[in-house]
Structure 1
Amino acid sequence: MSLRARLLAAALATTVASAGFLPSPTDAAQAADHTSRGVTIPAFYTPPATLPATNGALIRTEPLPLALSLPGITGPLPGRATRIMYRSTDSDGQPVAVTGAYLAPTAAWKGPGSRPLVVLAPGTMGQGDQCSTSLALQRGLILGIGGGRSTVSVGYEVLAIYRLLSKGIAVVQTDYIGLGTPDRLHTYVDRVDEGHAVLDAARAARNLTGTTADVGFYGYSQGGGAVASAAELQSSYAPDVPLKATYAGAPPADLAAVTAAIDGTELAGAIGWAVNGFVQSEPALQTLLNRYLSDAGRTALKDLSTMCVGDAIFAYANKKTSGWTTTGQSIAAILQSEPTARAFIESQRIGTTKPTGVVRVATGVSDNLVPHPQARTMAADWCGRGGNVVYAPISNTKSPSPLLNHFGPLLSDQGPAVNWLTDRLAGRPAATTCP
């Protein structure tokens, strides 16, 4: 980092601290950049030694230049962005720093009341720090080449973010726990970690802007699971967040079913991310893994821990995890055969608690990557618990590619999903489909 950049970061940190967002002056200016697979991650992403006492408290902020931005009459289009770091709590009850981005739209909000806020939980980006969505918003396409550690990451969530901004809705996007920050590994698909990161992102945005407006959640795939979990956890963890509506697309609600379905597909590498995250959340699982993983399995998990989606597809597409074990069993079979692992996976199930607000659950009927039946079961479970659920099965032609069967509805349903969420934030009711 240049001297000028360090001075600017220090000045910004002092301003934020004086506003009461920090318990003490930040050490962002003293932190060093770090690299992941050859990509430089700015020092901003390195958490300070001391974190604030309150969940959702801002740790530091800085202006975030957007890779896709146009000049407008009243300001840049689609809006101005701020990179944020905020405090959350992980599944072990420990404080943790999480990064993300807040985007204030140039477009006016045309609904009643003040401008609403949507927390966007990204879909699967990977596990390397270079894969974070906030970094992708700045750089668009992230490339690292050379030394056998190449990487590629595309900020595809910009499509949904910009659609929301065009409606005049403010957006805060979370990078999740451990994605971008070098102090820990990203706990991929950990229900509690992701739900807390979403809820505390809402708090952080409200602290940043002072808004008291209604809040909505938006997420597809990994993001769909994250916002579904957050809707369940809101009443106990963050009752101060005025959650009105949630869009949960293709949520991985039952990890046992999802792990079995993904094995041998284009996104088989996601199983490595999940296992890496499981071990960080529940260290007792490491002993179990040591009994089953072969040298090839250990190498794969270590390699995947720094990969993004593109990297995993290039390196592990259509691989079977039975090649990672000493017994020839798949990872899914091992997780189901061992009581400790089975109990942990069951604790990750979404659908066991009534969600706050109205939830639109959408899933492609031909989705066999994040299987359609397990998402539909989550919606039915919520209905059985008195939830206000709008279930939207998305018709799509089944292809030989599970990845296309999963991501097709992401694109085809994105417009209707944004419109549905906008209507709810504007106060228009939605009739439940539970009966």
Structure 2
Amino acid sequence: MTQDSGIISTKAGRRSRLVRRLAAVVTSGLVVGSALTVATATASAATDFYTPPSTFSATPGSVIKSEASPLLLQIPGAPNQWPGSATKVMYTSRYQDGKPAATTGTVVEPTAPWQGKGARPTVVVGPGTIGQADQCAPSKMMAFPMSVDLSKPSVGVNYTAPEMYYLLTHGVRVFVADYIGMGTPGIHTYVNRRETGYAMLDGARAALHASGAPADSPVGFAGYSQGGGAAASAAELAETYAPDLNVKGTYAGAPPADLSKVIDAIDGTTISGAIGFAINGLTARYPEVAKVVQHETNPAGKAALRRISQDCIGDIILQYAFQRTNSWTRTGEPLSAVINRHPEVGKVVDEQRIGRLAPNAPVFLEGGLNDDVIPYGQVEQLARDWRAQGADVRFVTNPTPPIMTKTIVNHVVPMLATLLPGMEFLLGEFNS
């Protein structure tokens, strides 16, 4: 299969300006230590925003409620703040069974003008693995990309800032999705193909509604890891679920397109606990999975899954790094082997596979040759699957050699290397 190798070149001046801006933000954030959000009992007022009203519009993408949300180092109420004005929104999406779901996200209207072709575009950013508990919602960490909840304790990290700030400085409207069940009631259904894709597509609709933008404004999707899966799902669901959206392109980095391959790869890494995120999400939606999990897990496994449902990414690293899921099962098998023994569970896992529908716009797809979290082969297979259906796919292989395997270094380095090419790809599609 023909592949594009290396990294797309960009203008040195543009990159230099971006680096200076981001460096200034990071440096200021480190100096202003008081900006760190420490959750206390007084946070109850903020929690109220995430409680849906008893009735709300069932139309996908409808804005249920909204409120201003400060970004890093911004002064509340000050006009024309760089890099934009943020609004937290609750909007209508869909559960996998089609029922209306209230979910949340943040739309940011950039200060910079859009100097490209046509109307200002909107990019919906899907966060990477950030957690499963309500306190992990990205919209709760827009003022500072980290939160500490001393009552649990819990450490949350929101690392969507690089792509968000890059797009905003280029005049692109950004919507950062929280995903269904993150902040709002119910379990966050981690890597559920339909629910993450729906949340992204309806996030685009909500962003256009909240900003008063034309309904046919250009739209794109972006994400890495879990976010890459969400972006990829949105890309292939757009034609059938949201044909009203004017989708121009998608950047999907290291998407977990085939969970049957990803679960085994993550086992024993620094983020082994993310398997618990996946199992909890599937258990909440599929009774057949809940039955098997109840039967096959031992007391330690059941306790781990309960605890993980209340964890953020920092928590699972501290609690479960390098542990293997065979310590969670009654037979001593890893969870991947348990799944293989139960065809009904294997069928559910297979339902989450991305690649059986074709994106209706060009896609920039990235896979790390030695990624120690998201296996390269299943990303390569996604490119094949989409191309076989006639999709326009640019597949880039990141060649980073193995570095401290199982520590997710080989997952993080390709993310950093592919960020700018992915964003440049989207800008190029908006101007095509």
Cα distance in 1 for partners of 2:182, 2:318 equals 21
Percent of aligned pairs with the same residue? 41
The question of 1:406 aligning with 2:411 is answered yes
- Tell me how far 1:351 sits from its aligned partner: 0.7
Q: Which residue of 413, 422, 431 corresponds with 1:417? A: 422
Instruction: Determine the C-alpha separation between the residues in 1 that align with 2:291 and 2:157.
Output: 35
Aligned residues: 390
Aligned to 1:347: 351
1:9-24 superposed matches below 5 A: none
Q: Is the 8 A contact 1:120 1:172 kept in 2?
A: yes
The 2-side partners of 1:376 and 1:74 are apart by 46
Supply the AA of the counterpart residue of 2:171. G
**2:302 maps to which residue?**
298
**Residue 360 (structure 2) pairs with residue 356 (structure 1):** yes
User: Is the Cα contact below 8 Å between 1:107 and 1:166 reproduced in 2?
Assistant: yes
Equivalence for 2:313: 309
Match of 1:251 in 2: 255
- Aligned with residue 383 of structure 2, among 362, 379, 384: 379
Which consecutive residues of structure 1, in runs of 5 or more, have no partner in the other structure?
1-34, 428-435
Partner of 1:151: 154
The question of whether the paired residues in 1 share the 8 Å contact of 2:222 and 2:250 is answered with yes
TM-score, normalised to structure 2, is 0.87
Q: CA deviation at 1:51?
A: 2.1
Change (3 A) 1:107 1:101: same
User: For 2:369 and 2:376, how far apart are their aligned partners in 1?
Assistant: 6
Local SS of the residue matching 1:346: helix
- Residue of structure 2 equivalent to 1:175: 178
Structure 1 Cα separation of the partners of residues 110 and 287 of structure 2: 42
Give the corresponding residue for 1:202.
204
CA distance in 2, matches of 1:282, 1:75: 47
Describe the shift of the 1:238–1:85 C-alpha distance in structure 2 as closer, same or farther (beyond 3 A): same
Residues 210-257 of structure 1, C-alpha deviation per residue, up to 9 Å, x if partnerless?
A: 323110111100010011111111111110011110000000000010
Deviation larger for 243-252 or 278-287: 278-287
Q: In structure 2, how many angstroms separate the alpha carbons of the residues matched to 1:36 and 1:354?
A: 46
Report the counterpart of residue 237 of structure 1 in structure 2.
Answer: 241
For residues 18-33 of structure 1, the aligned pairs below 5 Å read none
Residue pair 2:288, 2:345 contacting (<8 A) in 1 also: no
Tell me how far apart the structure 1 counterparts of residues 421 and 429 of structure 2 sit (CA, whole Å).
Answer: 12
Partner of 1:30: none
Distance 1:141 1:45 in 2: 19
Contact 2:40/2:150 (8 A) holds in 1:
no
The one-letter amino acid of 1:323's match is S
SS at the partner of 1:138? Answer: coil
Separation in 2 of the partners of 1:227 and 1:88?
16
Would the alpha carbon gap of residues 114 and 70 (structure 1) be closer, same or farther in structure 2, given more than 3 Å must change? Answer: farther
For 2:345 and 2:43, the matched residues in 1 are separated by 34
Q: CA 1:224/1:334 → structure 2, altered by over 3 Å: closer, same or farther?
A: same
Consecutive unaligned residues in structure 2, runs of 5 or more: 1-38
Letter in 2 for 1:150: P
- Pick closer, same or farther for the CA change 1:412–1:36 going to 2, 3 Å: farther
The residue type paired with residue 202 of structure 2 is D
CA deviations 1:121-169 (Å, max 9, x no partner) are 11111001010111111343200225xx311112211111111101110
- Partner in structure 1 of residue 167 of structure 2: 164
Cα gap change, 1:68/1:307 in structure 2, threshold over 3 Å: closer, same or farther? same
SS in 2 for 1:328: coil
What is the alpha-carbon distance in structure 2 between the residues aligned to residue 56 and residue 180 of structure 1? 18
Q: Is the 8 A contact 2:361 2:392 kept in 1?
A: yes
1:341-365 alpha-carbon deviations (Å, 9 max, x no partner) = 0111111110111111000101211
Give 1:387 deviation, angstroms. 0.7
Residue 288 (structure 1) aligned to one of 285, 292, 297? 292
Looking at structure 1, the residues matched to 79 and 336 of structure 2 have their Cα atoms a distance apart, in angstroms, of: 53
CA contact (8 A) 1:364 1:405 kept: yes
Query: Structure 2 vs 1, CA of residues 169 and 339 (structure 1 numbering), >3 Å: closer, same or farther?
Result: same
Does 2:333 align with 1:323? no
Check 1:50–1:70 CA distance in 2 against 1; reply closer, same or farther (3 A cut). closer
Whole-Å separation in 1 of the counterparts to 2:88 and 2:280: 27
1:262 corresponds in structure 2 to: 266
| Cross-structure match for 1:191 | 193
1:323–1:262 Cα change, 3 Å: same
Q: How far is the alpha carbon of 1:75 from its aligned partner?
A: 1.4
Give the Å deviation of 1:397: 2.6
**Amino acid paired to 1:53:** A
CA contact (8 A) 2:109 2:211 kept: no
C-alpha deviation, 1:65, in angstroms: 1.1
